[in-house]
A and B are shown apart, each in its own frame.
Chain A
Amino acid sequence: MSLKKNGRLSRREMLRALSLAAAGTSISPWLSGCRQALQTPEDVERGLRRDALDGKPKFLIVIGATGGASIIDSFLAVRQSEGGANAAKLNTVPDAQVQSVANSPFRAVKVDSPKLGSIPVPVNTDQLAFVNKYKDDMLVATSIGTSVNHTIAQKRAINGNAAWKGRTLQECVALQWGQGFALPNVNMSVGGYGERGTDVSLPASVYAETVTSPSLWPLGLDGAKGIRGAPTKDIAALARKARNELDASSVFGTTFADSDAMKRWNAQRADGAQLEAQDLITRLNVIPNMPPQIPLTQYGLDSSPDGAKVRAAFPGFFDDPFQGQAALAFLLLKYRVSVAVTIGPDFNVALGGNIGFANPPLAFDYSHNDHRAGQAFMWNRILSNVDKLITLLKSEPFDMATGESLWDRTLIYVATDFGRTRGRPDNAVEFGTGHDLNNGFLMLSPMVKGNTVLGAIDPLTTYGYGFDARTGAPQPGKQSSNEPDLFSGVLHAMGADLTGSGLPDASAFKNG
């Protein structure tokens, strides 16, 4: 694929996208012009007019903080001295470990523990540097969920509890900005974060392509390259042509011509040729040539031109799935393959990294065993990879004319399952917690209203309360579910066209 310097698609790619759009009359109701024509004066007055679809994509990275990332163990931590009479029995944090952030409503937690539950690895983490660096692009919103089942809660974190016909955020973004992209929606995450939405009316292209092995998955982006003994490209093309002609006229092909599976397969064969034409087997290939372990060149393959850069950022890309996913996520955005990418740690142990241990069993849910050290370890894992991702995205020009970087067009949504129960034995430092509906979500982007907390925490209970999604005004005592507000907030911040969605106005999330 050839990209113009302003980050737009080349004329050839645009023609392809236009031809698809022309053919896809069934998706016309979603096209911007149609939607804007449907806006009522009330919508306009209330600020529901969305950014024009200017042909320039926006990108969403969803990070599934698997297991339940507690917001009061990070940016909304409560100091023990603020907790009143019950402070010793609640998950408050010693004052010295809760750091204020200058000119910001956020806080940052510092934890030093000689071990992680029963795992003999030290936990020495400090969130302050991250918050200082990114506070202007950070928004934290308190949340009340509706499930403490991991898979269900994960899914509701990405579909707002079926806020818009059951579509996931990633599907909405793929629908809005994914036209002309080879794989608009790629999902590498787990459980409910990896599930597709339930709106079956969407075009097939917006449903996620599932990736479970990010380092090796790009090898499947070419039908023959890298297969020992396979013929040259021109011979392979002759073989495909012969096969396709016979398929179209065969008894089997004729009999099942009306089958959905057959139609999908034929369309996917054509899409596959587009993947090959972009040489994604090379461009997305993070792994280096390291014979004899990884003999790329012996198989006629090469590492990505950006391979060294992403490997430097994510040195554990091969052994730590989360790092491998983050590396691939960057390349998928850089090469305009995808507009929505979902990544996140899984529930399994991963070894590697500075202390030889990358992921505890159950990820954030290790809090059942050791809440404070588990949360600190996992938050550090999330924020470390977010930092590296943002650094890479900032280094990548998007539009030379406007000076935008890829980061300027990207929103990172740190989704999580739920919060954690607040109780602990008196003044315990090591304690276990369960699942709780009350929590909060982190979003990062130049598109969100930065340095902002929507809602707040009552320090006497450590529970959060809600806010008005349109104005951002806190609403003390509000404990009703706000899943649709959060769903809508991501899309509002990105400037998605929500006409006809029925979603609440969540203008409070948007920058400007």
Chain B
Amino acid sequence: MRPERLALFAALVALSSACPAKVDPPPQPMVMEVPDAGPSGLARSARGNLRFKGPERLTTDFATALSIKTDEVCSELGKYPCLSVHNVALGGVDPYGPGLYEPSGVTAVTTPLVVERIAWSACSQRVDKDLVAGVNAVVFRGLPMTGPKLTNPDGPEVTAIVGELTHRVLAREPYTNEVATYVKLAKDIEATGTAEPAREWMLSVCFAVLSSTEAVFY
């Protein structure tokens, strides 16, 4: 375990013992059944006129969903805002330098990677804040842990966290397959033998929701 993570968990344990008050998890979501695909179920959009969110909208949405400041969402090397460094890769314009007055209108090869970087960074901010926030945790709260592990990946608290993220990022209830996939993800992560399976699950589920196509297109 990295020293800074050890310190983080030590602080968490200390806070837990100092503040024995029970932290409630987010409310249970109304998990929905996945509609059938095909003629009797979901119809494919004939027009399919999807738009990528672009740098400002994406950053603002991520910040709002995770209740962090926009300038906290992502920076390269701790100094250079991702919104600036990767502006054009995210479909932005740059009129004063290269004279890019109009967005390209299509995503670039590097766009998905840049979105992932921003998602990991934003999620890392939120998870680490919540891990030390105790009763004041914003998203990842009320999750029973045994040391660095989730006490019960199948428990209702895990479903509640999935619901909370889905509400915040996608503005809807989660589907059954999403809950099942993220529960399985928790078990898969723990099976890797990582030193911090609970934290890495929180990061991973946050990342998966934030960087989903549903979250980055409209």
Contact = CB atoms under 8 A, between A and B. Distances in A.
A450 interface: no
A223 B117 CA distance: 5
A252 B177 CA distance: 14
Contacts of B28: none
Interface stretch (A27-35, A73-81, A267-275): A267-275
Contacts of B194: 231-232, 235
Nearest to A194: B98
Contacts of A249: 34, 37, 177
Nearest to B90: A220
B12 interface: no
Interface in A264-285: 264-265, 268-269, 271-272, 275-276
A453 to B, nearest CB: 32
B114 interface: yes
B45 interface: yes
Contacts of B88: 210-212
A305 interface: no
A242 B117 CA distance: 17
Interface in B107-131: 107-114, 116-117, 120-121, 124-125, 127-128
Interface stretch (B58-66, B142-150, B152-160, B181-189): B181-189
Nearest to A301: B77
A239 B207 contact: yes
A227 B124 contact: yes
Nearest to A205: B109
A262 B217 contact: yes
A54 interface: no
Interface stretch (A183-191, A380-388, A465-473): A183-191
Interface in B59-104: 74, 76-80, 85-89, 94, 96-100, 104
Interface in A197-235: 204, 209-213, 216-217, 219-224, 226-232, 234-235
B98 A246 contact: no
B45 to A, nearest CB: 5
B111 A268 contact: yes
Contact of B182 (A183, A242, A293, A296): A242
A267 B35 CA distance: 26
A245 B211 CA distance: 13
B107 A212 contact: no
B192 A243 contact: no
Interface size class of B (residues with CB under 8 A): 35 or more
A357 interface: no
A229 B207 CA distance: 12
Contacts of A235: 189, 192, 194, 200, 203-204
Q: Chain B interface secondary structure, helix, strand, loop or mixed?
A: mixed
A99 interface: no
Nearest to B196: A231
Contacts of A264: 106-107
A223 B107 contact: no
A253 interface: yes
B18 interface: no
Interface string A294-311: 111001010000000000
Contact of A347 (B99, B178, B192, B205): B99
Nearest to B119: A223
A196 B45 CA distance: 29
Contacts of B203: 229-231, 235, 239
A268 B43 contact: no
B40 interface: no
A196 B117 CA distance: 27
B124 A251 contact: no
A275 B213 contact: no
Contact of A222 (B78, B113, B128): B113
A295 B52 contact: no
Nearest to B104: A210
Given A255-B43, A259-B49, A296-B77, A276 B204 contact: no
Contacts of B189: 235, 238
Contacts of A222: 113, 117
A247 interface: yes
Nearest to B43: A255
A216 B97 contact: no
Contact of A272 (B80, B112, B200, B207): B112
Contacts of A204: 106
B42 interface: yes
Given A252-B213, A256-B48, A346-B98, A223 B181 contact: no
Interface in B194-218: 194, 200, 203-205, 207-209, 211-214, 217
Contact of B98 (A190, A227, A228, A245): A190
10 contacts: A190-B97, A210-B88, A210-B108, A212-B100, A222-B117, A229-B203, A232-B194, A242-B182, A246-B177, A256-B217
Complex A-B, nearest 4 residue pairs according to Cβ-Cβ distance, in ascending order: A229-B124, A259-B48, A223-B116, A239-B204
Given A231-B120, A252-B213, 18 more contacts: A191-B99, A209-B110, A212-B88, A212-B97, A220-B89, A229-B120, A230-B121, A238-B185, A238-B189, A238-B192, A239-B207, A246-B181, A261-B51, A262-B217, A264-B106, A265-B112, A269-B112, A346-B97
Interface of A: 151, 182-183, 188-191, 194, 196, 204, 209-213, 216-217, 219-224, 226-232, 234-236, 238-240, 242-243, 245-247, 249-262, 264-265, 268-269, 271-272, 275-276, 293-296, 299, 301, 321, 346-348
